[in-house]
Amino acid sequence: MSIPEIAKLGYVALVTSDLEKSLVFFKEVLGLEETEVLDGVHYLRAWGDFEHHSLSLEQGERGYVRHIGWRTKGKEDVLAFKDLLVSKGLEVESIAPWTTPGIGEAIRFKVPSGHTFELYYDVKKPQVQEHRRSVLKNQTYKAWAKGISPRRFDHVNLHTSEDWQQTYQFFQEVLGFKLREYLKKDHSDQILAGWMSVTPLVHDVALVTRDKEEIPTKARLHHISYWVDDSQDVLRAADICKEHNLPICGPGKHSISQALYLYVTDPGSGCTVEIFTGGYLIFEPDWEPVAWNESERAFGNTYWGDSISKKEIVKHTIEA
């Protein structure tokens, strides 16, 4: 029997305490396209995303993440993962096909970090209205319609206070993520942060372990990330955010991942969004994870850029 595999990051289901503010932020400032509104839930995607949505937004009493969706490599992988997870003692919820618009049969479960993941394969890729459709057959929407206009959904950054060994072991051995770079304690094997992927990206998910005293709940979302094509797009994003009177962190360059970044927070949900470009891809089958020591943390986070305000935004998370 083949081992089930995850193909890519799919979407984040986000609850916001102020839906109106969040819709302005994600649709007008960030520039995401709305594919559908159903039962008060808004489904959004970037102009280069192909699936039904990469973000859903709904009103709630507070800002938090319901779950994070991942698409598997094959339809059979969904049930194979269910069997595997149950054999590991996890509770797995089966979700009927199309319960979530655009998403077929799915399963949901909590990973050891405390975050809820959803796995699915079948998807719908809705057609675009003629006036927004790109003339390029390999592109969904016309680019640069409004706001920052990122091309695609890129990664999520998660924080947890749960046991680091169990968490990283689960992500790698059960879910199949490959550790690309990691931050460890000086003179210790303890991992403080790991950048992991199932694709050639440096990371589809970053996982940061925190002390229980540092975060109010054990599972947190630090940020979601959307990809733009080049460094000029990041600078343009900074101008757009300042024009909307939104505080930003960056632009800057990470040493870990070698990517250019800008952080800005949705005023409705409290969710931080990273505008992201650059970096490198990993095609080597024998890649050895790059280790950074805790004493190199500041340099690893920022090669150059707004490192002072980044200290504040790093502390900011929402419940996941």
Tokens 């609850």 locate to 15
- pLDDT, tens digit, for every residue of 55-69? 999 999 999 999 999
Query: Above 80 in pLDDT, residue 31?
Result: yes
Which of 32-46, 110-124, 133-147, 255-269 has the lowest average pLDDT? 133-147
Question: 3-state secondary structure string, the chain?
Answer: CCCCCEEEEEEEEEEECCHHHHHHHHHHHCCCEEEEEECCEEEEECCCCCCCCCEEEEECCCCEEEEEEEEECCHHHHHHHHHHHHHCCCCCEEECCCCCCCECCEEEEECCCCCEEEEECCECCCCCCHHHECCCCCCCECCCCCCCCCCEEEEEEEEECCCHHHHHHHHHHCCCCEEEEEEECCCCCCEEEEEEECCCECCCEEEEECCCCCCCCCEEEEEEEEECCCHHHHHHHHHHHHHCCCCEEEEEECCCCCEEEEEEECCCCCCEEEEEEECCECCCCCCCCEEEEHHHHHHHHCCECCHHHHHHHHCCCEEC
CATH architecture of 152-319: Roll (3.10)
Domains 6-132 and 152-319 share a fold: yes
Which residue ranges make up each domain of the chain? Answer: 6-132, 152-319
The pLDDT assigned to 316 comes to 73
pTM of the model as a whole: 0.94
What is the per-residue pLDDT for 309?
53
Distance CA 318, CA 320 (A): 6
Which of residues 144 and 38 earns the better pLDDT score?
Answer: 38
CA dihedral 258, 315, 193, 291 (to 10 degrees): 50
User: What is the average per-residue pLDDT within 70-82?
Assistant: 98
Asked if residue 314 has pLDDT above 60, the reply is no
CA-atom Rg of the chain in angstroms: 19
**Is 6-132 CATH 3.10.180.10?**
yes
Is residue 244 pLDDT above 70, yes or no? yes
The answer to whether the beta carbons of residues 47 and 151 sit under 8 Å apart is yes
Residue 158 CB coordination number (10 Å): 25
